Amino acid sequence: MYFASDNTSGMPERIVNAIIQANSGYASGYGTDPSMAQLSTRIREVFEAPEAEVFLVTTGSAANALALSSYCPPWGAVYCHALAHIEVDECGAPEFYTGGAKLTHVAGADGKMDPQALADTLARAGRGVVHHVQPGIVSLTNLTECGTRYSAAEISALAEIARSHGLPVHLDGARFANALVAEGCSPADMSWRAGVDVLSLGGTKNGLMGVEAVVMFDPARAWEFQLRRKRGGHLWSKHRYLSAQMAAWLEDGFWLDLARDANAMAARLEQGLRAYPQVDVSFPRGGNMLFARWPRAWHARLHEDGAKYYLWPDHETLAGPEETPLGARLVCSWNTSPAQVDGFLERMGA
Amino acid sequence: MYFASDNTSGMPERIVNAIIQANSGYASGYGTDPSMAQLSTRIREVFEAPEAEVFLVTTGSAANALALSSYCPPWGAVYCHALAHIEVDECGAPEFYTGGAKLTHVAGADGKMDPQALADTLARAGRGVVHHVQPGIVSLTNLTECGTRYSAAEISALAEIARSHGLPVHLDGARFANALVAEGCSPADMSWRAGVDVLSLGGTKNGLMGVEAVVMFDPARAWEFQLRRKRGGHLWSKHRYLSAQMAAWLEDGFWLDLARDANAMAARLEQGLRAYPQVDVSFPRGGNMLFARWPRAWHARLHEDGAKYYLWPDHETLAGPEETPLGARLVCSWNTSPAQVDGFLERMGA
Amino acid sequence: MYFASDNTSGMPERIVNAIIQANSGYASGYGTDPSMAQLSTRIREVFEAPEAEVFLVTTGSAANALALSSYCPPWGAVYCHALAHIEVDECGAPEFYTGGAKLTHVAGADGKMDPQALADTLARAGRGVVHHVQPGIVSLTNLTECGTRYSAAEISALAEIARSHGLPVHLDGARFANALVAEGCSPADMSWRAGVDVLSLGGTKNGLMGVEAVVMFDPARAWEFQLRRKRGGHLWSKHRYLSAQMAAWLEDGFWLDLARDANAMAARLEQGLRAYPQVDVSFPRGGNMLFARWPRAWHARLHEDGAKYYLWPDHETLAGPEETPLGARLVCSWNTSPAQVDGFLERMGA
Amino acid sequence: MYFASDNTSGMPERIVNAIIQANSGYASGYGTDPSMAQLSTRIREVFEAPEAEVFLVTTGSAANALALSSYCPPWGAVYCHALAHIEVDECGAPEFYTGGAKLTHVAGADGKMDPQALADTLARAGRGVVHHVQPGIVSLTNLTECGTRYSAAEISALAEIARSHGLPVHLDGARFANALVAEGCSPADMSWRAGVDVLSLGGTKNGLMGVEAVVMFDPARAWEFQLRRKRGGHLWSKHRYLSAQMAAWLEDGFWLDLARDANAMAARLEQGLRAYPQVDVSFPRGGNMLFARWPRAWHARLHEDGAKYYLWPDHETLAGPEETPLGARLVCSWNTSPAQVDGFLERMGA
């Protein structure tokens, strides 16, 4: 009953085997070994983006912060949703890496930026007025932090607004694969074709040990990115272990299979939750994550039984009147099993 | 014939097995799983330092820069040797993490800081004068970047000078194990007993995939360190893979065995080199790394044969008169074999 | 008809004379001349704060950003109103000086922080959770950016909430004197007695050339402040010109007289505006600044006649239907004359 | 007997009058009033640089740090002499403003960078190697911190080396006027014609209250500079007082007259010093500043008589054997009088 996060799961056997294979012999360091070149080629194929540059780091915060800092100056505004991971859960990594850019909220329901809100915000941003922070970059997340999903068309619409103000677009894709298989479109459709300039392509939450790719569709900032990565302490010497994992993950669409499994379990969980009239599902489920509210007493029971998940919003606690509803965030991963889901659902309403 | 760096080697089987074992089931993230607590306890035992706080990151640059930034303010001077890794090889990571501290050179032969030079530098540092950067921290490296070694007594002498000026001491221990076994003293003797406040304990160059521990002997800055680590994007979600590796590495003195093997191969290499009158060994060998100069023509031959090592200083190239001497940096690792060493020596003078 | 800002006025003759007097002879630099020591003593008397440390800079942004950075770490949150000058009008100076702190909005009507909103925000701030930026400092402004005023009791109430969470309080007092004379309380009552730890005491908007004092009621961070000031390029060599101005300004309550004059003109202006049924005064006037809305056609007429003031919000323009209301910000200064006010009012409704 | 610094002198009457004149009436803020546009035009004429952009700040540290940060990235090296003001006397302002660039020493006698040393340093800088800080900018000072002077040809030679490595050149001209009149060349010859891209044109040490111009001969970074200036808290609201001072200073070559006076007094001082066999003048005098060594007992006598100057190097003290030589830095300003010089010389050897 582990629904705390998709990063509490381990690695599938194929990934472990890739690590074991990568372990033989010597390899030159820092991404200069052949495996990284091969991986870059593979990602360019997968994304139909022959000019793209690809760099690996080991955390999502590093991927996001390095990507943002390569496109947004210290005096820039990073436009994001108030619930965005970069705003809430990275202890200020974007501010640190950019040298003090200002994360500026753009409103929208269900964790998704509203196009009109973005347009209004940019129209009033004060570009060219020296007293104000200048428009820097638009950062979206897919899946969002509410577990909802942008369609490729929705990303496109937001990116077009950004573009009309001369701004680049970043996509935090910590759960990009989950969004992709749910949407049923191609990686290119969900990224550069929709106007995304730089993508944080998450592997860690979808089966890797700790590997995230930054995919720069416009390679102009690639060298700057490399210097920033090194300077941030994020250039691995034994880099082969990162490229080997991601190569195995991309092989034969394995990454999409893992995401499909996670999404399917979330769908099963949602179905079960909706069967209880006492349960209120909070947002339209976009992939492998869902939010719901149910009586506090049920939470207590689940916690006693060892169920792992976060209360939501995260400042909430179990303390309170038994019958009052209390929110939960539930995340399924590639190795969540039907038995786990069913067990959770059973005990919940027992 | 891979002598480029100890980080071009992979992981010994014990470490791979530790990863495989860590892979089963779910674990809470970000170092909150039991394996990190156990590792902290173990490191406290190994270092006889029951109050120490331990944090893991995956690169030496991250370990160093985070450690320095936790002790040195933005307006501080970091006193180091001109050849120090933090000065030369981290693309300014210490400046980035500290918010702009000034790396200030302290002279000394063979990559080692000279006590008198440190005393003189500190005496003239201008503490209390607002126009000058203020003394911040002393940073030593053992093994040094010249492959030489500080004895525990030498570290002690430098730390005492630092202490007399109210400064903390950082030790970059990317090759701490190699220094330790060569010196034949205890981890405590080479660290806190010698006056070290914070240690970057390197695992990557000695058999791990990418794991470095920051050991804070004075835990007062531990929480600040954790925030800096998160903010730097260096807090792993699937943290168990890091703690599991380092736990296996410390078990039964395995880390010291690995270092002993590397040092022994370097000794064998040195012996072979010294047998050639055309070879000039540059510095007293402290552990698993050595520097030597020999005729340029020999370098060309070795390169043709596929030998891997860096020319030194690193701005040198093979181009030049055949008979002129040219420097090399040669590093042995835990899996360097006698056959590799002997093969290198043979071809070199062939 | 100059109502654009109180900083478009010059200096009263007494201040000019102080500069002329300060100009004779030699003086040691960087605030080490006797005039700064005398000024510090005087400010301690005026504020009944014998332990306070005082430092001069020449812009409000510098005063605010340096003050905030001396109390809030890079991973801290600066709690402020969404309209605060530090958030809107300093091009990210607080982020720059703090090394990337996050300005976090606390709601409230009329530009004033609501105590309940502050309490709620702090209760949910996630102190001790490494993923979140940590609570850093509460920053208030008096007069606010809406021209409204906190009473000493209101500041006290907010400061008490801050204190209960262990947070220091900063007061941006660019118009401190205007607030003080309107409130009719003592400098101490409006600052340290109300729980303020550090005050930006503005002189520039109230008759000085460019002089702001940072008053640190708790002197513990004084040395850090001095280093930050120097490092920010804000330590004047010919410092005597700053201390001389502020000394003359404080003499015989001259600073309060200037503020009283400005407030009186704003009162006259308000009275005149309220006489027009077409004019809607937006916020309760706290001192020398007011906001009002009136027909767009009237704005056009005033602009043609050379009246100087900002439309508000500042992204508004004159373009639009004649009869629609449009906002203005009107600021009076120490040398605004009754004739100017009356002339403005006349032409407005002509 | 005030030889401590040229910034311990006040302002000539013409400058005071310019302030008084600027004080009448209202003026729009932040450099948008007509006086700044006029000054920019004037500086373009004086420098024969019709494309140049000009910005005012109030300290030399601000001018230097803002200029450097507009041309050198955070991962860049700023090449300067070990004695440069930016390295020694700005408490790390360049590191702060650039976001952590590395000040890298280039050797040379008498405070002047040696062309061969610069060429060698750049040849070994490791451009394109991600582990190393990348070449960023070359920063020269004229007059140097040793009081010596670069000729226009010498600046040209250094700038050509910089240019051949693709690097821009900054000139710290805190004493630019003193260098100019001593060299007898035009402002253009000593700046852009010699390859300087950005100049810190110092007014404060040559008669202004606190005004420095940053002259950008290539205007491409002008907007970035303005944002950095604002963000650094260096954009004055009552900006007219700065532009008025500098305009009066440039009028009829007044700035050059002031510098000539200062240089003449330094020449008189030098002549007097050389007349004493016990005095050893340390460096070739370039303008208004000189360094010399004489018996410690003489220093004690001068100090008793109230003479003001710095011992040099600045960690030296009066304590020590009477007959041993001790260094001094002596600076003349626009209002140093022959009587002061002669008085100093007399008492010295009395």
User: Structure tokens of A13?
Assistant: 């056997």
pLDDT above 80: residue A350: no
Is the pLDDT reported for residue A62 higher than 80?
Answer: yes
The number of beta carbons lying within 10 Å of the beta carbon of residue B8 is 21
- Residues 299 to 328 of C: which have CB under 8 A from any A CB? 313-315
CB proximity list for A64: less than 8 A, separation 6 or greater: A85, A86, A90, A93, A94, A139, A170, A172, A200
Rounded distance, CA C135 to CA A313, Å? 18
Query: Which residue's structure tokens are 């810190």?
Result: D200
Encoding tokens for residue C204?
């520039």
Please indicate whether, in this complex, the C-beta atoms of A75 and D227 are within 8 angstroms of each other. yes
Comparing CA positions, the residue from D182, D230, D174, D227 lying closest to residue D199 is D174
Distance set, CA D212 to CA B192, C332, D57, D155, D310 (Å)? 49, 31, 5, 21, 24
Do C233 and C275 fall into the same domain?
no
Its sign, for the CA torsion A48, A52, A56, A60, is negative
Nearest to B227 among A57, A91, A209 (CB): A91
Q: Is-contact B345 B330, C-beta < 8 A?
A: no
Pairwise CB contact (< 8 Å): B88 & D314: no
The residue of C78, C83, C130, C131 whose CB has the most chain A CBs within 10 angstroms, and thus the best one to mutate to test that interface, is: C131
Q: Look at residue D300 and tell me if it is in a domain.
A: yes
The alpha carbon dihedral of D121, D127, D130, D136 has a sign of positive
User: Is position C5 within any domain?
Assistant: no
Q: How far B128 CA lies from chain C's nearest CA (Å)?
A: 9
Contact D228 A75 (CB under 8 A): yes
CATH code where residue B69 lies: 3.40.640.10
Q: Does B74 touch chain C (CB under 8 A)?
A: yes
Average pLDDT for C187-195:
98
Strand partners, C212: C57, C202
Nearest residue of B to residue D82, measured between CA atoms: B104
Which range is least confidently modeled, B319-323, C9-13, D30-34?
Answer: B319-323
From the CA of C211, how many Å to the nearest CA of chain B?
21
Is the pLDDT assigned to residue D349 strictly greater than 90?
no
pLDDT digits (tens, 9 = 90+) for D102-126: 999 999 999 999 999 999 999 999 9
| Same domain as A264, residue A200 | no
**Are residues D307 and D301 in contact, defined by beta-carbon separation less than 8 angstroms?**
no
Of B92, B126, B313, the CB nearest to D102: B92
The pLDDT score that the predictor gives to residue A349 is 79
Helix extents (H) in C72-174:
85-88, 93-98, 115-123, 152-164
In this structure, the answer to whether residues C230 and C294 fall within a common structural domain is: no
Nearest to A74 among C96, C133, C315 (CB): C96
pLDDT at B323: 86
Q: How far apart are CA A325 and CA A340, in angstroms?
A: 23
Q: Give residue D314's pLDDT.
A: 84
- The answer to whether residue A66 neighbours chain D at the CB level (below 8 Å) is no
DSSP B257-309: HHHHHHHHHHHHHHHHHHTSTT-EE-S---SSEEEEEEEHHHHHHHHHTT-B-
For residue A74, which residues of chain D lie inside 8 Å, CB to CB? 99, 231
Lowest-pLDDT range, A92-101, A320-329, C224-233, D189-198?
A320-329
> Residue D337: inside a domain, yes or no?
yes
User: Do A91 and C131 count as a contact with CB atoms less than 8 A apart?
Assistant: yes
Of A198, A219, A252, the residue at which a domain comes to its end is: A252
And the tokens for B212? 């470095």
* Distance of alpha carbon D183 from alpha carbon B13, whole angstroms: 72
Report the distance separating Cα D255 and Cα D257, nearest Å. 5
How far apart CA B58 and CA B234 sit, in angstroms, is 8
Smallest CA-to-CA distance from A330 within A346, A315, A345 is with A345
Give a yes or no: residue B25 inside a domain: yes
Is B88 an interface residue toward D (CB < 8 Å)?
Answer: yes
Under the banding of pLDDT at 50, 70 and 90, the label for residue C288 is: very high
Question: pLDDT tens digits for B236-290?
Answer: 999 999 999 999 999 999 999 999 999 999 999 999 999 999 999 999 999 999 9
Check residue C277 and give its pLDDT: 96
Gap between the Cα atoms of B133 and A301, Å rounded: 58
- Nearest CA to D43 among D289, D287, D278, D214? D214
Measured between beta carbons, the chain B residues lying within 8 angstroms of C228 are: 75
Residue that finishes a domain, picked among B252, B280, B301: B252
DSSP D97-149: HHTS-EEEE---GGG---HHHHHHHHHTS-TT-TTSPEEEEEEEESS-TTS--
- Contacting chains of B (3 CB pairs or more, <8 Å) are A, C, D
Say whether both A297 and A177 belong to one domain. no
For residue C219, being part of any structural domain is answered with yes
The pLDDT value recorded for residue A276 is: 97
Alpha helix (H) residue ranges in chain B? 13-22, 34-46, 60-69, 85-88, 93-98, 115-123, 152-164, 176-183, 222-231, 240-250, 254-274, 296-304, 338-349
Instruction: Tell me if D315 and B126 make a contact (CB, 8 A cut-off).
Output: yes
- Residue in C56, C132, C230, C234 to test binding to B, most B beta-carbons within 10 Å: C230
Beta strands in chain C (DSSP E): 53-57, 76-80, 102-105, 134-141, 169-173, 198-202, 212-216, 280-281, 289-295, 310-311, 325-331
Identify which of C41, B210, C10, D184 has the alpha carbon closest to the alpha carbon of residue C2. C10
Residues 135-194 of C with CB under 8 A from A: none
Percent of chain D with pLDDT over 90: 96
Judging by DSSP bridges, how do beta strands A325-331 and A310-311 pair with one another?
antiparallel
Provide, as residue numbers in chain A, all residues whose Cβ is less than 8 Å from the Cβ of D99. 74, 99
Q: How many CB atoms lie within 10 A of CB B270?
A: 20
Q: What is the pTM of this model?
A: 0.98
Predicted pLDDT at B315? 85
Contacts of residue D124 in chain B, CB cutoff 8 Å? 313, 315
DSSP D235-265: --SSTHHHHHHHHHHHGGGHHHHHHHHHHHH
Q: Is B211 left (phi over 0), alpha (psi -120 to 50) or beta?
A: beta
The range of the structural domain enclosing residue A109 comes to 13-252
Q: Do B18 and B117 sit in the same domain of this protein? A: yes
Position C315 scores a pLDDT of 85
CA distance C202 to chain B (A): 24
Decide if pLDDT at C350 tops 80. Answer: no
Paired sense of beta strands B198-202 and B212-216, if any: antiparallel
Task: Report the sign of the C-alpha dihedral through residues D167, D173, D179, D183, in that order.
Answer: positive
How does pLDDT run along chain B (350 residues), one tens digit per residue? Answer: 799 999 999 999 999 999 999 999 999 999 999 999 999 999 999 999 999 999 999 999 999 999 999 999 999 999 999 999 999 999 999 999 999 999 999 999 999 999 999 999 999 999 999 999 999 999 999 999 999 999 999 999 999 999 999 999 999 999 999 999 999 999 999 999 999 999 999 999 999 999 999 999 989 999 999 999 999 999 999 999 999 999 999 999 999 999 999 999 999 999 999 999 999 999 999 999 999 999 999 999 999 999 999 999 988 899 989 889 999 999 999 999 999 999 999 998 77
Picking from D295, D303, D290, the residue whose alpha carbon sits closest to that of residue D336 is: D290
Of B29, B204, B233, the CB nearest to A62: B233
Q: What would the pLDDT profile of D286-315 be if each residue is shown by its tens digit?
A: 999 999 999 999 999 999 999 999 999 988
Q: Do C315 and A95 touch (CB under 8 A)?
A: no
Same domain, B269 and B243: no
What would the two tokens of residue C316 be?
A: 């508004």
Which tokens in the block code for residue C69?
A: 């950075």
The total of structural domains in chain C comes to 2
Task: Let me know whether C262 and C172 are in one domain.
Answer: no
Residue A283: give its domain's CATH number. 3.90.1150.10
Same domain (yes/no): A21, A158: yes
The mean per-residue pLDDT over the stretch D138-145 comes to: 98
Q: Which of A30, A134, A227 sits opposite D134 (nearest CB)?
A: A227
pLDDT above 80 for D350: no
Of C183, C207, C203, nearest in space to C194 by CA: C183
Is pLDDT of A1 > 90? no
Residues 193-252 of C with CB under 8 A from B: 224, 226-228, 230-231, 235
Pair (D246, D266) in one structural domain: no
Report chain A's mean pLDDT, rounded to a whole number. Answer: 97
Are residue A157 and residue A84 in the same domain, yes or no?
yes
- Classified as helix, coil or strand, D170 is strand
User: Considering Cα of C279, then C280, then C281, then C284, what sign does the dihedral take?
Assistant: positive
Whether residue D1 is predicted with pLDDT greater than 80 in this model: the reply is no
DSSP state of C141: E
Which of D58, D54, D93, D100 has the alpha carbon at shortest distance from D77? D100
- Name the domain boundary from B252, B280, B303: B252
Q: Which of D93, D36, D7 is nearest to D245 (CA)?
A: D36
CA distance C64 to C173: 9
Task: Indicate whether A99 belongs to any domain.
Answer: yes
| Residues C8, D28: C-beta atoms closer than 8 Å | yes
Per DSSP bridges, beta strands D134-141 and B198-202 are: unpaired
Same domain flag for D110 and D201: yes
Task: Give the Cα separation of B248 and B17 in Å (integer).
Answer: 9
* Nearest CA-CA distance, residue C78 and chain B, Å: 16
The answer to whether ipTM exceeds 0.90 is yes
Per-residue model confidence as pLDDT tens digits over A113-150: 999 999 999 999 999 999 999 999 999 999 999 999 99
Place of tokens 């040209």: D156
Residue-wise DSSP of C249-276? HHGGGHHHHHHHHHHHHHHHHHHHHHTS
Encode pLDDT of A159-187 as tens digits: 999 999 999 999 999 999 999 999 999 99
Percentage of chain C surpassing pLDDT 70? 100
- Closest-CA distance of chain B to residue C167, Å: 17
Neighbours of C157 (CB within 10 A): 16
pLDDT at C203 over 90: yes
CA–CA distance, C341 with D14 (Å, rounded to integer) = 35
d(CA D270, CA D272): 5
Nearest to C22 by CA among D170, D210, D316: D210
Nearest-CA distance A16 → chain B (Å):
7
Average pLDDT of chain C, as a whole number: 97
Give the pLDDT confidence score for residue B163 in this predicted structure.
98
In this structure, the answer to whether residues A231 and A344 fall within a common structural domain is no
For C252, residues 6+ apart whose C-beta sits below 8 A from its C-beta are none
Contacts of D245 (CB under 8 A, 6+ apart): D11, D15, D18, D19, D203, D208, D209, D211
The answer to whether residue C8 is domain-embedded is: no
CB distance D132 to D102 below 8 Å: no
| Average confidence (pLDDT) over C22-26 | 95
Residue C170 lies in a domain: yes
- What span, in angstroms and rounded, lies between the C-alpha atoms of A275 and A277? 6
Banded pLDDT at A315 (limits 50, 70, 90):
confident
Closest by CA to C162, choosing from C109, C218, C215, C106, is: C106
- Residues contacting A223, CB < 8 A, separation 6+: none
At D84, the pLDDT band (50, 70, 90 cuts) reads very high
